[in-house]
Structure 1
Amino acid sequence: MQQQMSQHVSAGDARGDSVTQFLTFVSNGEVYGVSILNIREIVSYGNITRVPMMPDFVAGVINLRGSVVPVVDLALRFAQEPAARTKRSSVVILDVMYEDEEMEIGITVDVVNEVLDIRASEVEPAPSFGTKIRTDFISGMGKVDNQLLVLLNIETILSVEELSAISER
């Protein structure tokens, strides 16, 4: 998949308009996108073990092939009502940088949709107001078929420093 991504970007750069692939998914009825470069894998929503003294939006941890991976409930992180889990619910495992190390963190989503190619020229800056989530959680707005797709800033949403500070309160 990484090689495909490189080919897309290279072809786009030759025309001066790079292409990035985004995984799209639904959380609480809203469609969001995340760059596939941040995604490690997608797993079925399963047994999540709650951890005491964590913020409400930290759903808990999962065992992923012997590794303990923290999982954030995306709807709760966005200060929304928790979504009902269905058989289509998933956990998207993302790579997040923390103190020069890559760390895996999962986010719960209602439904995983598809991967879209979005050109740099089709991405608008994040709006300064009028969104259902904090504006610093948004990296931009992608134009797809005459509609706007909220592109998430995973580094801010899953900021390990912020999550640690919140859990220490």
Structure 2
Amino acid sequence: MLVLTFMVGEFLYGFEAVNVAEVVPPVNCKPLPKAPGFVSGVFNYRGRISPVIDLPRLALDKPSVSMMSSRIIMIDIADINEECERGSRYLGLRAEKVTDMVKLSDDLFESPGVDIPDAPWLGRVAKMERGMLQLINPAKLLDEDLQRILFPEDGHQVTEREVEELHYPEKNMGD
């Protein structure tokens, strides 16, 4: 399998190349007031308004650092939500040190041995010279609530409560 590798903080992660639509240089995103902190904003990707998620902020609660090797990895939403038409919507994922595409045998990957409910998108792990490489599963990157906020269906208005629940999930537990 071909894997696009990148860093989140000091750790190595990757996407299977089959799940990557394109890798683009970093851009200034239009911020979305009151959006969850890991949402960088939106930008014009090939004529379509596309949201961007800051992967280091999502994973480690630390904003990404701008560097020469920072990139936005574009994912087709059809790889996240099978009800979406391929090529109709994209999600950008801001990452650091997006520099390598490596070919690895599927046999090198194994289960990490833990299941983290708040990070269901974390996938299998491979041991490499540079350290451990963990795959990210794009199909589990956005839960239904976040999909509805970032990609509202025509006519669906996202409620203030939905945004608040993403912003402050502990505040709304037990409601």
Instruction: Name the counterpart of 1:114.
Output: 100
Question: Is structure 2 residue 96 aligned with structure 1 residue 100?
Answer: no
- Structure 2 Cα separation of the partners of residues 115 and 61 of structure 1: 26
Among 133, 138, 156, the alignment partner of 2:122 is: 138
Residue 141 (structure 2) aligns with: 157
Structure 1 residue 80 and structure 2 residue 58: aligned? no
Q: Contact (CA 8 Å) 1:49, 1:61: kept in 2 or not?
A: yes
Q: 2 CA distance for matches of 1:26 and 1:134?
A: 20
Q: Which amino acid aligns with 1:144?
A: M
When normalised by structure 2's length, the TM-score is: 0.74
Higher strand share goes to which structure?
1
- Unaligned stretches of 5+ in structure 2? 150-161, 166-175
Q: How many residues align?
A: 147
State how far apart, in whole Å, the 1-side matches of 2:142 and 2:112 are.
18
Q: Which amino acid aligns with 2:4?
A: L
What amino acid is the match of 2:83?
D
Please tell me whether residue 167 in structure 1 is matched to residue 167 in structure 2: no
Q: How far apart, in 2, do the equivalents of 1:46 and 1:143 lie?
A: 33
Q: C-alpha deviations, 1:125-168, integer Å up to 9, x for none? A: 13316x8x955221200233484211111221234x14136636
5+ unaligned residues in a row in structure 1: which ranges?
A: 1-19
Indicate conservation of the 8 Å contact 2:5/2:98, yes or no.
yes
Q: What letter matches 1:110 in structure 2?
A: E
Q: Which one-letter code corresponds to 1:64 in the other structure?
A: Y
**AA of the residue aligned to 2:137:** N
RMSD in angstroms over aligned alpha carbons? Answer: 2.3
2-structure distance, mates of 1:73, 1:53: 15
After superposing on structure 2, the runs of 4+ consecutive aligned residues of structure 1 that deviate more than 6 Å are: none
For 1:134 and 1:30, the matched residues in 2 are separated by 18
For residue 78 of structure 1, give the secondary structure of its aligned residue in structure 2. Answer: helix
Q: Give % identity.
A: 25
Equivalent AA in structure 2 for residue 100 of structure 1: E
Q: Secondary structure of the equivalent of 2:77?
A: strand
Correspondences of 1:117-128 after superposition (within 5 Å): 117-128=103-114
TM-score (norm 1): 0.76
